[in-house]
Amino acid sequence: MNYIIDDKISKEWVNNNKPKKSIIFYCKYINVQLAEAIINTFKNIFKDESIKIQFVFENNINNFLNGNSQFSAIELIDSFSNIHIKTKDNIETNVLILDDERLINAFSYETFKNLFINCNNTTCVNGYGIETSDRKLIEQFLSRYINNNTNDLNYKQLVDSYINKILELDTSILEYNLYSVVFNCPENCTISPNTIPQFSKFNKAVYDTPESLVSSNIIGITYNQLGQYLEEVGKTDFAYKKYGENHAKFAQLMDFAYIDCDRPRKIHITRLGNIFYNLQQEQQHKLVLYQVFKLDIIKVIVSKVLNDSSFDLSEYLKNYISSSTVDRRRSNIRKIFQFIVDSDIDLARYILEKI
């Protein structure tokens, strides 16, 4: 996945180039990895209410249906009261604009090569991305892509539309859509320790976690508190915290919750998670089925198994997590595929046999 903020555009660079008036994040997709990277890099700036902050992402329900964008990321970004979230149709690249005076096209330079042909004052950012202070180009970009044809986010409408599109599918069409999700751009998937599920029981992770967040009647609960809601008494504080953290992270992957960046970190139910909690059992099952098919690790595994007869899941996981945890994570992944098999999706049965 292409991010505006990347290790190659470091915090040191940001600290040396702080905006004084405004900052615009302009990107096609919005997901948790991007949201956390932006917050961790710019959080001190976000606390300065004198700086105008805009976050513009592509208004396309298909980006959420195929898993490239996440509702939990929107709610995480929106937890900062001074960030104005807007949407735009047909975004082609990721751009960062500081004070309307510096434009950084961190990725997909080719997309805007016509704008850069006669551009003055163009440099690289840490050897990565294109930066310019050319006023003519920046004004042209702002006029064409920012100041016109952007809309305020109607979040309720976006989430409701998403759920309705999934719930109205009959079984055969749902299965076809699930295949489409899985085969959608595995190269856009981000695999990391945080995107490889870790939980005790699948039902507890998927159903009990949103229920605990809703029934707690607390706006934001800690890992420790969630662990106590989910697990029986008699555990240590560390065990409760770790238990809560693992299930919170999976709920975030499922878009049913988001984890803020405060200390201590707190888990919040998302609008999607709240609606999920109130659905009928059959509707819940259909939504869960769709959500697990969107997980990056599921997409990648399906692609690997179907295209590489020698694929070994345990060896693959060792690229991202320690050998001591591979068996537990592999077991979690198999539980997810077993859930899909139990939902009569034939593709999953073949995959499960191979992993």
Looking at residues 286-292, what average pLDDT do you find? 93
Alpha-carbon dihedral angle through residues 30, 32, 35, 38, given to the nearest 10 degrees: -120
Burial class (CB in 10 A: 0-12, 13-18, 19+), 221: buried
Asked which of 129-133, 272-276, 332-336, 337-341 is least confident by mean pLDDT, the reply is 129-133
Distance in angstroms (rounded) separating the CA atoms of residues 324 and 326: 6
The residue ranges of every structural domain in the chain are 11-153, 163-354
H-only helix segments in the chain: 11-16, 32-46, 61-65, 71-78, 113-116, 135-141, 155-167, 171-182, 202-203, 209-215, 223-230, 237-253, 271-278, 281-293, 296-307, 313-317, 323-342, 346-354
C-beta pairs of 239-247 under 8 Å, 24+ apart in sequence: 243/200, 246/198, 246/199, 246/200, 247/199, 247/200, 247/204, 247/205, 247/209
Note if the bond before 264 is cis, omega within 30 degrees. yes
Among the listed residues 158, 166, 202, 186, the one whose alpha carbon sits nearest the alpha carbon of residue 60: 158
Whether the pTM exceeds 0.85: the reply is yes
Other CB atoms within 10 A of residue 293 CB: 25
**pLDDT at position 8, please?**
46
- Please count the CA atoms within 13 angstroms of the CA of 275 that sit on its side-chain side: 18
Pair of tokens at residue 142: 């702002």
- The structure tokens 């076809």 sit at 176
Percent of the chain predicted with pLDDT > 70: 86
**Record: fold of 11-153:** Endonuclease; Chain A (3.30.870)
| pLDDT above 60 for 355 | yes
Among the listed residues 81, 138, 102, 104, the one whose alpha carbon sits nearest the alpha carbon of residue 27: 104
| Cβ contacts of 334 within 8 Å, gap of 6 or more | 352, 355
pLDDT band, residue 130 (cuts 50/70/90): confident
The SS3 assignment for 25 reads: strand
| Cβ contacts of 300 within 8 Å, gap of 6 or more | 186, 189, 191
Which of the two residues, 175 and 4, has the higher pLDDT score?
175
